[in-house]
Structure 1
Amino acid sequence: MYAVSGALYIDEMGYAMSRLEIESDFCDDGNTIPEDFSSEQVKKPLKNIENEIAQITKLKSAPHQQLGRVGPGRPELPVSPVKMLAGRECNYSGRGRFSSADCCHLLSRYLPVNGPWLIDQMTSRAYVSQFSNDGSLFIAGFQGSHIRIYNVDKGWKVQKNILAKSLRWTITDTSLSPDQRYLVYASMSPIVHIANIGSAETDSLANVTDIHDGLDFSSNDDGGYSFGIFSVKFSTDGRELVAGSSGDSIYVYDLEANKLSLRILAHTSDVNTVCFADETGHLIYSGSDDSFCKVWDRRCLIAKGKPAGVLMGHLEGVTYIDSRGDGRYFISNGKDQTIKLWDIRKMSSNKTCNPGYRSYEWDYRWMDYPPQAKDLRHPNDQSVATYRGHSVLRTLIRCYFSPAFSTGQKYIYTGSHNACVYVYDLVSGAQVATLKHHKSPVRDCSWHPFQSMLVSSSWDGDVVKWGFPGSAQPPSASTKRRVSRRHFLDDYL
């Protein structure tokens, strides 16, 4: 049984198929496509997606070219898993195994859409949920002062339960150090706290008491103004933190010197999100309620506060930015109910004010998005592609690229105010999957870096995991939905 979802179709095993794949599968059996597959239900591909990003994605997630070859004059057909397995047995690659692109092609077709399995249930809103870089730990931050760190490899046992200090309103962000020894967390305060969470082998249900210090991000330039931190991230080497604040500024904190090393008055409104562009730490991306995304090059910050470039296209504030990790592409979630894909080579050298497009009063914290604004387009949109379908209201909802290891960053996924998780195809823009379980907004969600597993958390207090049958652990007594089917693909991979 198939379910239509944009230009792709999800079968009951969580297998994403294009119309062409279904056509070839049914034709092989001498049957026809079911009547419910009409051309009107297939979403048209994005018109302005750049060939370069499409080609890069294909190289990372497409099977070996020999498997896709057909006779002269015939269109290239999608490669089925059976054909790939047969090709591997024949050693078509000459290496006796699947290439990384082959693995991505197989794993990315089996989306984590089955479930969910309940991991935890709290009485306060969940604001942050993230896997560690190696997938062994999972961090969830709640409005009620608790930050829970789960050991994924030990059956999601709570390894640490940190009680946040001096919490203002809620935990707005957390970040785990690259060596997984320290966790920083922020709230609506200029003080970012750092806690020693110990090694992954040390189980503890007690609050962290050995190291739990406050890092002061305020400076003399702030004039005593008490601001809040919306976003905080470790650098790749773990020596610095970058943060964005309600004081319209970006901060860089030197952990070795234990002092603030840089403050940039970056935007004209709240800086909701910041991140490093790549492993070098030279480039910083920022997004603000002023609707602009900016790129900052620390190597040439001659004039304080001058960005390397500005990217415009959002009509409302930017809630989150996720870098592709190549120092070139990133995505942003916006209060204009869109995700945008950006190429920093298209950025402007100077900020250009948005035109007077807004003829309505609107506050995303308590109002629905105006119907008359849904069809508006920025006249100077510099984005590469735009993705629509989810809703960004009430809170700073986050979006991400899918993992490079298992999908070749083929997808984009996001939480949503309407209590769902949406997965989009990066190149076609199709809604590949919609995960429904929660009863309140899903602010954050995280895809396991190596497994076909996705965890979502919501204001309803639920933290749940999704997978495809065979990839997730057997359901426990607290399972809300049981899935008995298993799939053979795990055995082959």
Structure 2
Amino acid sequence: MSTFSKGTSSCDGDSATNESSAFEGPSDISDSLDHEIAQLTKLRSGPHELLSRAVPGRLRVPISTVKMLVAREGNYSGRGRFSSADSCHILSRYLPVNGPFKVDRMKSRAYVSQFSADGSLFVAGFQGSHIRIYNVDGGWKVQKNILAKSLRWTITDTSLSPDLHYLVYSSMSPIIHIVNVGSPGTESLANITEIHDGLDFSVDDDYDEFGIFSVKFSNDGRELVAASSNNSIYVYDLEAKKLCLRIPAHMSDVNTVCFADDTGHLIYSGSDDNFCKVWDRRCFITKGQAAGVLMGHLEGVTFIDSRGDGRYLISNGKDQTIKLWDIRKMSSNAMYPRLRDDDWDYRWMEYPPRSRTLRHPWDQSLATYRGHSVLRTLIRCYFSPAYSTGQKYIYTGSSDSSVYIYDLVSGAEVARLDHHDAPVRDCSWHPFYPMLISSSWDGDIAKWEFPGSGKPTLARRRRSRWRHFY
């Protein structure tokens, strides 16, 4: 059972206050997230007011699809059609929970997997040097099988360019490689069948080699932003073919980084120093420091996903929580609470039971989501797609071999997908269809759908446990 906490905090300089409450499930709507983002989510995924009034009897949300179709045909809204929010209200009920269905099975661990922005391609990266690009619309055939160059330990991240022409991949090395996805041929063997250009992210004062944990294209495809094991963030100019910015960003490994929105001005980062930070490139040259710090995690931050509006983000943490943030609540200073010993290592130890009851004294997050586990590897989390769900859900992999889906506002665990035999490090929801792909250290790439296309075809399948809170 998942546990959801909401908190209200104010922070100015070195002071912050926090009030929080936890509850099991969505039994009391008054305990749901009480913040502007709750209203924004409702506007994106709620039915039109006139359609709601068209339903006889006591108002209930969600309204059935049949009643909404009747209201549309009767033109109760006066527009003769569904709005995008009406469509999301319908589509968001059909969660991708049926399956799993086989996409692929490899002999090495799957570390990363993501749909392209248009959903036509799917990329999966494995520890055994392979990166596979699948043609989703072409029956999931392998469009490109890339054998990585100079791999160190594993593929740590991949990113497709917005025009889908190029893919970059990183490992525990300061060199990020770029491959032409659109070139002819299915096999791409580094510097033998195709050139894998190396982009050097090191600078003159980097005396020790470092690894790249996270890399992302900017939305215009002109830049890359990367997070490294030497506590820094890097920005690479692809047109100038040179590193244009290095930020000594944190006190420990930077595990995750991303652009906040389409402008590319704001960057979010998360680190093993427990902090999420916001960087504004428009004033960085003069200030040379973060625009703000977000405190609340008690352990390292493994992943950050932006809502895309330059205001809200979520983060996964080694304290076994996902946190929701509003950057307007960030602080100018970082404070380090000492709540436990430093002898715990998430890579091979279970999370201490006593630590689950600890709360950050200056927690600035809007809400905290619990139920999944973040152990052994850098588990990733995401907002659900805007087009089909209005971003009303949060979903995440888990070291207990499952995928969890939480309701953003109520905090309820609305689905749990069980199949894998090892940690699910990454997962990806199709941008338009009710389809979700999970990738695991067991080597399986599994597909979950609504309604599904037949019997599950993975040999080691288990029953999917899921429930709707409606």
Q: What TM-score results when the alignment is normalised by the length of structure 2?
A: 0.89
Where does residue 429 of structure 2 map in the other structure? 447
Where does residue 295 of structure 1 map in the other structure? 278
Number of residue-to-residue matches in the alignment: 443
Question: Aligned to 1:84, what secondary structure does the other structure show?
Answer: helix
Return the letter of the residue paired with 1:286.
S
CA offsets per residue over residues 29-77 of structure 1, 9 Å max, x none?
A: xxxxxxxxxx987555584723310100000001111122279996555
Where does residue 135 of structure 1 map in the other structure? 119
Return the letter of the residue paired with 2:264.
G
User: Which of 340, 362, 365 is the matching residue for 1:380?
Assistant: 362
Mapped contact 1:46–1:427 kept (Cα < 8 A): no
CA offsets per residue over residues 117-153 of structure 1, 9 Å max, x none?
A: 0100000000001000000000000000000000000
User: Which of 304, 321, 326 is the matching residue for 1:338?
Assistant: 321
Where does residue 50 of structure 1 map in the other structure? 34
Where does residue 30 of structure 1 map in the other structure? none
Return the letter of the residue paired with 2:433.
Q
Mapped contact 1:319–1:397 kept (Cα < 8 A): yes
Distance 1:438 1:46 in 2: 36
Mapped contact 1:45–1:430 kept (Cα < 8 A): no
Q: Which runs of 5+ in 2 are unaligned?
A: 5-22, 464-470
CA offsets per residue over residues 72-128 of structure 1, 9 Å max, x none?
A: 996555411111010111122333322111110111001011100010000000000
- Is residue 422 of structure 1 aligned with residue 388 of structure 2? no
Distance 1:71 1:171 in 2: 52
Mapped contact 2:102–2:457 kept (Cα < 8 A): no
Mapped contact 1:45–1:429 kept (Cα < 8 A): no
Q: Which runs of 4+ in 1 moved over 6 A?
A: 4-7, 70-73, 479-483
Distance 1:478 1:414 in 2: 21
Where does residue 20 of structure 1 map in the other structure? none
Quote how far apart the aligned CAs of 1:457 are.
Answer: 0.4
Distance 2:361 2:456 in 1: 52
Where does residue 95 of structure 1 map in the other structure? 79
Mapped contact 1:265–1:305 kept (Cα < 8 A): no
Matches within 5 A, 1:461-472: 461-469=443-451, 472=452
Return the letter of the residue paired with 1:443.
R
Mapped contact 1:275–1:323 kept (Cα < 8 A): yes
Moved more, 249-258 or 294-303: 294-303
Question: Aligned to 1:302, what secondary structure does the other structure show?
Answer: helix
Quote how far apart the aligned CAs of 1:473 are.
Answer: 4.3
Matches within 5 A, 1:79-478: 79-198=63-182, 204-207=186-189, 209-222=193-206, 224-303=207-286, 305-351=288-334, 353-359=335-341, 361-469=343-451, 472-474=452-454
| Residues 1:386 and 1:185: Cα distance change in structure 2 (over 3 Å) | same
Distance 2:80 2:460 in 1: 41
CA offsets per residue over residues 444-478 of structure 1, 9 Å max, x none?
A: 00000000000000000000100122xx4456866
Mapped contact 1:46–1:429 kept (Cα < 8 A): no
Mapped contact 1:266–1:305 kept (Cα < 8 A): no
Mapped contact 1:243–1:250 kept (Cα < 8 A): yes
| Residues 1:476 and 1:369: Cα distance change in structure 2 (over 3 Å) | closer
Return the letter of the residue paired with 1:456.
S
| Residues 1:380 and 1:267: Cα distance change in structure 2 (over 3 Å) | same
Question: Aligned to 1:256, what secondary structure does the other structure show?
Answer: coil
Question: Aligned to 2:133, what secondary structure does the other structure show?
Answer: strand
Return the letter of the residue paired with 1:263.
R
Mapped contact 1:158–1:205 kept (Cα < 8 A): no
| Residues 1:41 and 1:256: Cα distance change in structure 2 (over 3 Å) | closer
Matches within 5 A, 1:18-33: none
Question: Aligned to 2:431, what secondary structure does the other structure show?
Answer: coil
Quote how far apart the aligned CAs of 1:207 are.
Answer: 3.2
| Residues 1:370 and 1:119: Cα distance change in structure 2 (over 3 Å) | same
Greater RCO between the two (CA within 8 Å, min separation 6)? 2
Return the letter of the residue paired with 2:435.
M
Mapped contact 1:320–1:332 kept (Cα < 8 A): yes
Question: Aligned to 2:51, what secondary structure does the other structure show?
Answer: helix
Mapped contact 1:138–1:149 kept (Cα < 8 A): yes
Return the letter of the residue paired with 1:323.
S
Q: What TM-score results when the alignment is normalised by the length of structure 1?
A: 0.85
Mapped contact 2:99–2:456 kept (Cα < 8 A): no
CA offsets per residue over residues 316-356 of structure 1, 9 Å max, x none?
A: 000000000000000000000000000000001122x2221
| Residues 1:6 and 1:190: Cα distance change in structure 2 (over 3 Å) | closer
Mapped contact 2:419–2:460 kept (Cα < 8 A): no
Distance 2:374 2:62 in 1: 35
- Is residue 59 of structure 1 aligned with residue 43 of structure 2? yes
Mapped contact 1:108–1:407 kept (Cα < 8 A): yes
Distance 1:42 1:293 in 2: 28
| Residues 1:343 and 1:476: Cα distance change in structure 2 (over 3 Å) | closer
Question: Aligned to 1:158, what secondary structure does the other structure show?
Answer: strand
Return the letter of the residue paired with 1:291.
N
RMSD: 2.4
Return the letter of the residue paired with 1:367.
M
Moved more, 299-308 or 181-190: 299-308
- Percentage of identical aligned residues: 73
Mapped contact 1:45–1:427 kept (Cα < 8 A): no
Moved more, 72-81 or 119-128: 72-81
| Residues 1:177 and 1:46: Cα distance change in structure 2 (over 3 Å) | farther
Distance 2:155 2:383 in 1: 23
Distance 1:281 1:46 in 2: 37
Distance 2:439 2:396 in 1: 11
| Residues 1:346 and 1:215: Cα distance change in structure 2 (over 3 Å) | same
Quote how far apart the aligned CAs of 1:176 are.
Answer: 0.3
Question: Aligned to 2:282, what secondary structure does the other structure show?
Answer: helix
Mapped contact 1:264–1:304 kept (Cα < 8 A): no
CA offsets per residue over residues 189-227 of structure 1, 9 Å max, x none?
A: 00000000107xx562443644410000000121x2100
Distance 2:210 2:461 in 1: 43
| Residues 1:197 and 1:464: Cα distance change in structure 2 (over 3 Å) | same
Where does residue 19 of structure 1 map in the other structure? none
